[in-house]
Chains A and B, each alone.
Chain A
Amino acid sequence: DGGITQSPKYLFRKEGQNVTLSCEQNLNHDAMYWYRQDPGQGLRLIYYSQIVNDFQKGDIAEGYSVSREKKESFPLTVTSAQKNPTAFYLCASRPNRDLPSSGQYFGPGTRLTVT
Chain B
Amino acid sequence: AQTVTQSQPEMSVQEAETVTLSCTYDTSESDYYLFWYKQPPSRQMILVIRQEAYKQQNATENRFSVNFQKAAKSFSLKISDSQLGDAAMYFCAYRMNSGNTPLVFGKGTRLSVIA
Residues of A at the B interface (CB closer than 8 Å) are: 30-31, 33, 35, 40-45, 48, 50, 58, 88, 90, 92, 94, 96, 100-104, 106, 108-109
Contacts and interface: CB of A to CB of B under 8 A. Distances in A.
B36 to A, nearest CB: 9
B82 to A, nearest CB: 23
B45 A90 contact: yes
B102 interface: yes
Contacts, number: 55
A102 B107 contact: no
Contacts of B87: none
Interface of B: 6, 9, 33, 35, 37, 42-45, 47, 50, 52, 91, 93, 95, 97, 99-100, 102-108
18 contacts: A33-B102, A33-B103, A40-B9, A41-B107, A42-B105, A42-B106, A42-B107, A43-B105, A45-B102, A45-B104, A48-B102, A50-B100, A58-B102, A92-B103, A96-B99, A96-B100, A103-B47, A106-B44
